[in-house]
Structure 1
Amino acid sequence: MAIQVTATALPEVKLVEPRVFGDTRGFFYESFNARDFAEHLGRDVVFVQDNHSRSAKGVLRGLHYQIEHAQGKLVRVIEGEVFDVAVDIRKSSMNFGKWVGMILSAENHRQLWVPPGFAHGFVVLSQSAQFLYKTTDYWFPEHERSIVWNDPDIGIDWPIDFEPMLAAKDMAGSRLVHAECFA
């Protein structure tokens, strides 16, 4: 088995841990295999876009989502370490407004599956981080939305002791109570 998939506290959000083969030369693992992914999640997921970002320590990106053309995201870190977060923003969900977060790093090789209907964000804990993610739909800037990272109604326990660096769109993010959400 190439991957181990574990449900998080939000059952639709999955921790994906690949089998890593390593020795003194380095390591190898399959970062994505459509057959294994479909087998473990019980459905076929088609990715249409790959994204790559590099951020300095203290950069916080998110909490992002697209209100139309909702994206599922398979995220991982290939350099450094981040605290990655998914928030359920489906009003019909019994977990509406709840969040899950975990450390993703180049060393632990963990990936997180964030399905459509969830807002997503991360903060960089190392000197820098390179973050890769596959998406199930294209980026449509006119449909992109942002929920403020420190919304007290969500109460994310970010493992930071500093004021994060934010993009203008993230500083202007909505509180969940005012955000456009999924049905």
Structure 2
Amino acid sequence: MSLDRRFFIGSIGTALIGMPMLGGAGSAWAEPDPRDLSVVSRGSKPASGRGGRPVQVSLEPIGASVLRIGSPVRFRASSNQAGFGHLYMVGTSGRVVMVVENLPLGRRRTVELPKPGLLIRATAPAGDNSVLFAASRDRLAGFAGNGTTTTPAEIQTGANGLLGELTARLSKLPRGSWGLTTVNIKVVE
């Protein structure tokens, strides 16, 4: 996928020339997943952020999930809780692009991504691409800081490190206060 002031998928983000680079942080798997089973004393209550139900998210392409090189794609994303959305793409080449971070989300409201004026477009090389969407009740100390970022930027973490590094960042938030999902997009000649 790449991004031409619109943007692209193939090597997700390969056409993002002049895009800022964001640094990554150490080991991706340093923090345990807060959704794992835990041993607690009898009578203690599970933590779930600000109370209520755990955050659940959804992400789906608008249109096909198999794209020819040059084809555009947009996504619908939502969360069952109000909070903030974070969208990342991992291309066939291993390049990682942050599309948005800390985008305000309404409870059970669907947003279309990327923002108006940008377009994700499939580019060479052909292959499998991953798109990750996370939502959190609280702002994430993300790759671009704590503010809302809607300007795509390449992240300097490998494709193998994104999921672990993102999970480590999310794990710093209260248990049950975030959710994560992935969609695969196949780019063909």
Query: TM-score, with normalisation over the residues of structure 1?
Result: 0.33
Query: TM-score, with normalisation over the residues of structure 2?
Result: 0.32
Relative contact order, higher structure (CA 8 A, sep 6+):
2
